[in-house]
A and B are shown apart, each in its own frame.
Chain A
Amino acid sequence: MKLLLGNEAVARGLYEAGCRVVSSYPGTPSTEVTEFAATYDEIFSEWAPNEKVACEVAFGASVAGARSFCAMKHVGLNVAADPLFTASYTGVNAGMVILVADDPGMHSSQNEQDSRHYAMGSKTMMLEPSDSAECLDYTKRAFELSEKFDTPVIIRLTTRVAHSRSVAPLADRVDNGLKEYTKNPQKYVMVPANAKGKHVVVEQRILDQIAYCEKEAVDNGLNKVEYNSKKIGVITSGICYQYAKEALGENASYLKLGCVYPLPVDLIKSFAAECETVYVLEELDDYIETHCRKHGVNVIGKDAFTLQGEYSQSLIAKVILGKETETLKTDVNIVPRPPVLCAGCPHRGLFYALKQLNVTVSGDIGCYTLGFAQPLGMIDTVLCMGASVSALHGRNAANPENAKKSVAVIGDSTFIHSGVTGLINIAYNATDSVVIILDNSITGMTGHQQNPTTGKNIKGEPANAVSLEALAKAVGIQNVIVVDPYNLAETKEGIKQALEADGPAVVISRRPCALLKTVKHNPPLKVNKDKCKSCKMCMKIGCPAISMKDGKAEIDFTQCLGCNVCSQLCKFGAIE
């Protein structure tokens, strides 16, 4: 038995199931699955440029006869939806498993979408574990089910399952080798004539899977019925099962659905018939509830609970049992502590330069999204990966005058993910757009993953590095300017030149993430209190290491990395 992170347990399941190929794009809360998978030498693991590529890599590996896998966060599945919907038609050769991690409560996401709709939409079987032991077990089951039903299988996690540690038993790896590939256009070439035939197969497959969910899945414990007191019946899956057990214990009976697509009908009906009052406990949408109602099963769900945020044991205890918890109170004014750009973050200098230029900023997904926060406040829109570039083009197409006073900001990894296509559009359809690539030599927000621009692969071994300068030029951007965001004057000047010049431009703001272990830091800076005139200029960059103490600026030596951005703002030379 070992205490494993949910994501680590999935990776262990991949290893034990004999998975051979893993391709993913990082995204909280799914990232660690692939990082842990990469620690097994038996698995070919990689960071792909985006989730669509990752899913297609897994498809190719499956057809070639290897058990394959890709992982992504919920919004990543939007990107991978294209291969998913048709891989559901082709089915697999060796087992293919797709992991999607939803983020109820949006701990680290831009929306709260419920990926179960993708399982239903793409007609792809979906399993949902509730702790690390099930993460491991369901991963192995997913491969078996994928091969049994000739379908990709999706594993859905939520943040609390992905990022909780609990005990899980380990077993040895079973690798049955590569399955033979046989050419079969009717199965693998999805042109209309073949796809029509495959759609028939898919619909029959769902009926077979429902039959499996009614009986065999109950016998093998994937769908579990636990009868205790029958006054309260709970139909649930995933983390909500754990919350319900904590809140209700043996005062309720449970139907725990390990498979959330397809859902059984008779199993639900017979369980509900045994219980006095039946609740559906599920985070986000009324997915199971709607299924129950469709089949005439009377349940209490979202009317009593919520479509937003996370559930918990106390929410369930409050709604079902009317139980309130006693708490301690203080009258302390609790000042909020939002996340901020780290001390020494290279993005800070860039955003300060943008502030001085007073431009509109089309933003993107990454650490630099935090540039929206005060006191910098320099992002106007954030939508999804890559949208900064394409939306800037749209803005400038709507009104060419915007081009002289607006920019896009996008990180190196996000640019490769889906910014480059927008840049091709800018060059091809000719707006004078200025795209700033924040090249910090790593995928930052998700916790330092390598990417195609860093020159290293997932294992840290040397790899081909995309030259952002050459790439920009190759797609037709002639004006490429490189600046160091630690140098405020240079950065401001570089962006100004790009804005003033005719034609589109790319500015590369290049400086490695300050948290990278390979980055050497200067000693912490100090404020000379005699020289400090309390003008608070140094506070304008929102550095968490700088504060005012007794009317003078002070720098926290435990946080300061000596980046010297603040000292460039001090007119009195007080920062040394």
Chain B
Amino acid sequence: MNKSIMIVGVGGQGTLLASRILGSALLDCGYDVKVSEVHGMSQRGGSVVTYVRFGESVASPIIEKGEADIILAFEQLEAARWLEYLKPDGKIIVNTQKMDPMPVVMGAAEYPEGVIEALKASGADVAELDALPMAVEAGTAKAVNVVLIGAMAKNMAFVEKETWIKALKESVPPKFLELNLKAFEMGYNI
């Protein structure tokens, strides 16, 4: 049975790198893998989504409403935006960080309150964490994506921890490896 994971966030948060690490770890486990990315205009601070599908043989690279086994959300509002894509018995891992979209910045809309509670009320299995302070502690706010990969790794017990670390090593520049390993551990160990 094929599995589907969505990584959602705000352009610039590093969702692409996260999906590459995930894809590489799954390939290493012997699965057929397809990853669908978004490039171009929507990367400029817009809502971005990456699909990762794996299993014995994967045809479509995209995930549709009600099809995701796991959603890894880099931001609260993005978690709510993409919730419809989760299977009713799926799991959503949410970074509690809030980033105001432009209508909120301009005062044309308000950032919604109680997003995490609403996600839980929908019946979804919600795991929340505050990844930004962890990333800062690991060395840079930019490592939020790797903290979140760590948190997801914990929820994917069928992939060995060493496999994740190998994928991480292949995907980040050597001079940032130590920092990223620390960020991964922080997400993994919560």
Q: Does B80 contact A (CB under 8 A)?
A: yes
Which of the segments A240-248, A409-417, A466-474 contacts the partner chain? A240-248
Q: Specify which chain B residues have a CB less than 8 angstroms from the CB of A536 in the assembled complex.
A: 107
Once A326-B66, A327-B88, A558-B141 are accepted as A-B contacts, the answer to whether A3 and B35 lie under 8 Å apart by CB is yes
Q: Which of A64-100 contact B (CB under 8 A)?
A: none
Q: Which of B8-32 contact A (CB under 8 A)?
A: 10-12, 20, 23-24, 27, 32
B40 touches A29 (CB 8 A): yes
Output the least CB separation between B123 and chain A (Å): 6
A242 touches B60 (CB 8 A): yes
Q: Specify which chain B residues have a CB less than 8 angstroms from the CB of A41 in the assembled complex.
A: none
Q: Does B132 contact A (CB under 8 A)?
A: yes
How many A residues touch B, CB cutoff 8 Å? 65
B61 touches A160 (CB 8 A): yes
B83 touches A330 (CB 8 A): yes
Output the least CB separation between B167 and chain A (Å): 11
B81 touches A334 (CB 8 A): yes
Q: Which of B40-70 contact A (CB under 8 A)?
A: 40-47, 58-62, 64-67
Of the candidates B39, B46, B107, the one having the most CB atoms from chain A within 10 angstroms of its own CB is: B39
Q: Does A424 contact B (CB under 8 A)?
A: no
B67 touches A314 (CB 8 A): yes
* Bound-complex Cα distance A326 to B124 (A): 13
Q: Which residue of A lies closest to B124 (CB)?
A: A328
Q: Specify which chain B residues have a CB less than 8 angstroms from the CB of A164 in the assembled complex.
A: 34-37, 61
Output the least CB separation between A346 and chain B (Å): 14
B27 touches A167 (CB 8 A): yes
Output the least CB separation between B39 and chain A (Å): 6
Q: Does A342 contact B (CB under 8 A)?
A: yes
A342 touches B34 (CB 8 A): no
A340 touches B122 (CB 8 A): no
Q: Does B121 contact A (CB under 8 A)?
A: yes
Once A107-B41, A339-B44 are accepted as A-B contacts, the answer to whether A334 and B80 lie under 8 Å apart by CB is yes
Q: Specify which chain B residues have a CB less than 8 angstroms from the CB of A546 in the assembled complex.
A: 105
Q: Specify which chain A residues have a CB less than 8 angstroms from the CB of B32 in the assembled complex.
A: 166-167
Once A312-B64, A327-B84, A328-B88 are accepted as A-B contacts, the answer to whether A108 and B39 lie under 8 Å apart by CB is yes
Q: Does B156 contact A (CB under 8 A)?
A: no
Once A337-B77, A339-B44 are accepted as A-B contacts, the answer to whether A374 and B102 lie under 8 Å apart by CB is yes
* Cβ contacts A536-563/B at 8 Å (1 or 0 each): 1001001110111000000011110000
Q: Specify which chain A residues have a CB less than 8 angstroms from the CB of B174 in the assembled complex.
A: none
B122 touches A330 (CB 8 A): yes
Q: Specify which chain B residues have a CB less than 8 angstroms from the CB of A559 in the assembled complex.
A: 12
Q: Does A296 contact B (CB under 8 A)?
A: no
B101 touches A446 (CB 8 A): no
Of the candidates B59, B83, B101, B124, the one having the most CB atoms from chain A within 10 angstroms of its own CB is: B59
B39 touches A28 (CB 8 A): yes
A163 touches B36 (CB 8 A): yes
* Bound-complex Cα distance A29 to B36 (A): 12
* Bound-complex Cα distance A370 to B41 (A): 9
B118 touches A330 (CB 8 A): yes
Once A328-B84, A547-B100 are accepted as A-B contacts, the answer to whether A28 and B45 lie under 8 Å apart by CB is no
Output the least CB separation between A340 and chain B (Å): 4
Q: Which of A325-351 contact B (CB under 8 A)?
A: 325-342
Q: Which residue of B lies closest to A335 (CB)?
A: B109
A335 touches B77 (CB 8 A): yes
Q: Pick 12 A–B contacts, CB within 8 A, sort by A.
A: A166-B33, A313-B60, A314-B64, A333-B112, A335-B103, A337-B10, A337-B101, A340-B45, A445-B44, A447-B40, A447-B43, A559-B12
12 further A-B contacts with Cβ under 8 Å, apart from A325-B67, A328-B122, A342-B44, are A163-B38, A164-B37, A164-B61, A166-B35, A329-B84, A333-B110, A339-B46, A374-B108, A447-B43, A536-B107, A544-B45, A544-B100
Leading 7 A-B pairs by shortest Cβ distance = A108-B40, A28-B40, A325-B66, A339-B46, A337-B101, A314-B64, A246-B60
